[in-house]
Chains A and B, each alone.
Chain A
């Protein structure tokens, strides 16, 4: 059985968006079963479909895979986006983890309590400008290649592009000092599968504002 992967999540970016990006970049069509009510989520749990009672969950190749990284790792391996050997995978993992850390920091801003938002926003900007973006600018500069690892497209290029777009939404001025990252962003955005995902009408999800998230929290009680 090899139907399309089925993604179970809310109609939101959250912890599923990086998976949508990776599948799209790999040219893999997928279906989404959006969780639209507490009953939908409760049914998934009661049916024993969620190993730790949590989403994201992806039905793929006979498995009901939970945990974002487990899902990403599987997709990347399956579609040859995880490097050619153990050492390339180590670099890809190191870079990807940094990207996921910063992505999480930026994503959390919209749900953080108002009294903390100013401090956390300042911290996120500082980390973006002084820690993470310099690190990746340096990687691109050191090898002068079009992709981060192994001179070919891997998952980490997709994760970094996704992050750069969030940084741009967050504060476009943060990117100005990083010419290689800007060129990287253009290059990866122009890949056919990625370009298609960036078009209106794709399965890419929009940003949610604080009010929408607050509504969702009330509905789902988290």
Chain B
């Protein structure tokens, strides 16, 4: 049985967006069953298909996988985006986990109260500019290759480019001092499946707005 993976999440970026980017990069088609109401979520819970009563959940290869990292690691292994050996995977994991810290802030900041939101935007920009982007620029400087690890595309590249797009939403000039990251962004964005994902009408989700914030609050009741 080789059905398309089926995603269960609300119609928003949140904790599923990195998975969407990853499958776009892998050229893998998937379906989405959006959660629109709290009742939709409660039904999944009472059906016993959410191990920890949380989404994201992906139905794939006979499994009902929850936890974003478990989902991403599985797809990365399956579609050869996770390095060729143990050491390459270690580097990919280190890079991906660094980005996950920044991504967590990005996922949550739209729900912050005024004041806190502005402080967190400033903090993200500062961390991207002074910690994360310099570290990755240095990786490219040191090996001079087109991809972060093993001279071929991996999940770390996809996560980094997603993060670049996210940080550019906060500050369009944030990459000004990082020419090698600019080149990576161009290279990845020009891949046919990513280019398609970046077009309107794709499965990429738009930035969070007030309407989607209210909807998410109603679904998850917070």
Contact = CB atoms under 8 A, between A and B. Distances in A.
A90 B97 contact: no
Contact of B86 (A51, A77, A97): A77
A69 B74 contact: no
A67 B97 contact: yes
22 contacts: A51-B95, A52-B98, A63-B90, A65-B90, A69-B69, A69-B93, A69-B97, A70-B90, A70-B93, A74-B87, A74-B90, A86-B74, A86-B77, A86-B78, A87-B61, A89-B77, A90-B73, A97-B68, A97-B70, A98-B52, A131-B52, A131-B53
Interface string B85-127: 0110111011111100100000000000000000000000000
A78 interface: yes
Interface of A: 51-53, 61, 63, 65-70, 73-74, 77-78, 86-87, 89-91, 93-98, 101, 131-132, 135
A68 B93 CA distance: 10
A78 B93 CA distance: 14
Contacts of B89: 73-74, 77
A135 B51 CA distance: 6
A106 to B, nearest CB: 15
Contacts of A63: 87, 90-91
Contacts of B67: 93-94, 97-98
Interface on chain A toward B: helix, strand, loop, or mixed SS? helix
Contacts, number: 83
Interface of B: 51-53, 61, 63, 65-70, 73-74, 77-78, 86-87, 89-91, 93-98, 101, 131-132, 135
A91 B71 CA distance: 10
A135 B93 contact: no
Given A51-B135, A69-B69, A61 B98 contact: no
Contacts of A94: 51, 65-67, 70
Given A52-B131, A61-B87, A89-B77, A67 B94 contact: yes
Contacts of A53: 131
Nearest to A58: B90
A97 B95 CA distance: 18
Given A70-B97, A98-B51, 5 more contacts: A51-B98, A52-B135, A74-B86, A90-B63, A97-B68
B93 A73 contact: yes
B83 to A, nearest CB: 11
A93 B68 CA distance: 10
A95 B67 CA distance: 9
Contacts of A78: 86
